[in-house]
Amino acid sequence: MNTSLTITRPDDWHLHLRDGPMLAAVAPHSARLGRAIMMPNLVPPVVTGAEAAAYRQRILTALPPGATLRPLMTLYLTETTDPADVLAAHAAGLIAAVKLYPAGATTNSASGVRDFDRVRGVLEAMAGAGIPLCVHGEVTDPAVDIFDREAVFLDRVLEPIRRRTPGLRVVMEHITTAEGVDYVASQQDMGATITTHHLVINRNHILVGGIRPHYYCLPVAKRESHRLALRRAATSGDPRYFLGTDSAPHPDRAKESACGCAGCFTAPNTLSILAQVFEDEGA
Ligand code: DOR
Ligand code: ZN
């Protein structure tokens, strides 16, 4: 019988380490990773190449001795982002990708994009230079039910952007639906991240028997059939689906609140949870 399990050093393609005292507290939990894509939704957000370089230094300072983590930085896309700054930051090796938050979609997204036409120039420049766009894929239209916001985003926003920006490399981040899985499977030149928590919880875990705020994140977990579709994709071996934990710490007082923050802090337990998922799936 097998009694030992060797796990390849994992990369995390979507991670929130925050800043200041929170960064100092959570960074050690991600120190043994390989590479990790750092989310730029600080307050204020990481918008320029210079800000990304400074944030990278603060992350390196927060890591314990012997850490293997290599932070890969991202820029927070705004309607006034300068394409030249993005290209220069990428050419200098300061950033690996640019992050698109629809304004109002999630935590610290107020500086995100309202009118997607206004970022066309940046996206075209990125397509030319091969810079990936990491996408928080939810519409913010109040008329759209929160459980439908990802599926509607695919048709209403992502598909038009990809059609008019050929060659743009896109990562649909933290997919939570069978529609997200199927969309990625039907496309060339794009991938998707899947979080740890969306492989193990569905919306019942948040809402049945009392509200459990530590399971609340965005995109919110969907019904069980979607969780099963995510597990099949994650364990399929198809390289278009990869890990982005979206480990997103908030203070307890901000989670356990009448208006609680979105985010699941999974970094300390991610690998053991994933080992369980893969064993359960025989993968
Ligand atoms: O649940 C989430 N938390 N989803 C996001 O998109 C942002 C994140 C955060 O920064 O807390
Ligand atoms: Zn995130």
Q: pLDDT tens for residues 95-130?
A: 999 999 999 998 899 999 999 999 999 999 999 999
Among 106, 138, 173, 196, name the best residue to mutate to test ligand 1's pocket (greatest count of ligand atoms within 8 A of Cβ). Answer: 106
Given a cut of 90, whether residue 44 has pLDDT beyond it is: yes
The question of whether 85 is a catalytic residue gets the answer: no
Given a cut of 90, whether residue 230 has pLDDT beyond it is: yes
Q: What is the distance between the alpha carbons of residues 127 and 105, in angstroms, rounded to a whole number?
A: 24
Give 185 Cα–ligand 1 centroid separation in angstroms. 25
Ligand nearest to the CA of 214: 1
Segment (H or E) for 37: strand 35-38
* Least trusted range by pLDDT, from 76-85, 103-112, 173-182, 223-232: 103-112
- Strands laid side by side in the 12-15 sheet: 12-15, 35-38, 70-72
3-state helix, strand, coil in the chain (%, to 5): 40, 15, 45
Among 217, 220, 265, name the best residue to mutate to test ligand 1's pocket (greatest count of ligand atoms within 8 A of Cβ). Answer: 217
Provide, rounded to the nearest whole percent, the portion of the chain with pLDDT above 90.
96
Closest-CA residue, ligand 1 atom 2, reads 263
In the prediction, which pLDDT does 1 show? Answer: 67
- What is the pLDDT averaged over residues 38-54? 97
Q: What is the distance between the alpha carbons of residues 190 and 221, in angstroms, rounded to a whole number?
A: 22
**H-only helix segments in the chain:** 20-26, 49-62, 83-91, 120-129, 149-153, 159-164, 178-185, 197-200, 203-207, 224-234, 252-255, 270-280
Given a cut of 80, whether residue 2 has pLDDT beyond it is: no
Q: Is 22 in the pocket of ligand 1 (CB under 6 A)?
A: no
- What is the pLDDT averaged over residues 205-234? 98
Given a cut of 80, whether residue 140 has pLDDT beyond it is: yes
In the prediction, which pLDDT does 18 show? Answer: 98
Crossing angle of helices 49-62 and 83-91, rounded to 10°:
40
- What is the pLDDT averaged over residues 154-176? 97
- What is the pLDDT averaged over residues 48-55? 98
Q: Is 161 in the pocket of ligand 1 (CB under 6 A)?
A: no
Q: What is the distance between the alpha carbons of residues 165 and 41, in angstroms, rounded to a whole number?
A: 25
Closest CA to 29 of 175, 245, 259: 245
Tokens of 161: 């952007």
Confidence of residue 65 (pLDDT cuts 50, 70, 90): very high
- What is the pLDDT averaged over residues 208-233? 98
Query: Strands 74-76 and 70-72, how do they pair?
Result: unpaired
Tokens 């053991």 appear where? 272
Q: What is the distance between the alpha carbons of residues 103 and 139, in angstroms, rounded to a whole number?
A: 9
Q: What is the distance between the alpha carbons of residues 156 and 149, in angstroms, rounded to a whole number?
A: 10
Q: What is the distance between the alpha carbons of residues 202 and 70, in angstroms, rounded to a whole number?
A: 32
Q: What is the distance between the alpha carbons of residues 185 and 197, in angstroms, rounded to a whole number?
A: 21
In this structure, what DSSP letter does residue 154 have? Answer: I
Mean pLDDT of the chain: 96
Q: Is the previous residue joined to 219 through a cis bond, with omega within 30 degrees of 0?
A: yes
Taking CA atoms, 81 is separated from 46, 121, 122, 126, 167, in Å, by 11, 9, 7, 12, 20
Tokens 């979607």 appear where? 226
- What is the pLDDT averaged over residues 159-184? 97
Tokens of 116: 């997607």
Given a cut of 70, whether residue 253 has pLDDT beyond it is: yes
Q: pLDDT tens for residues 28-37?
A: 999 999 999 9
Tokens 């075209």 appear where? 124
In this structure, what DSSP letter does residue 215 have? Answer: G
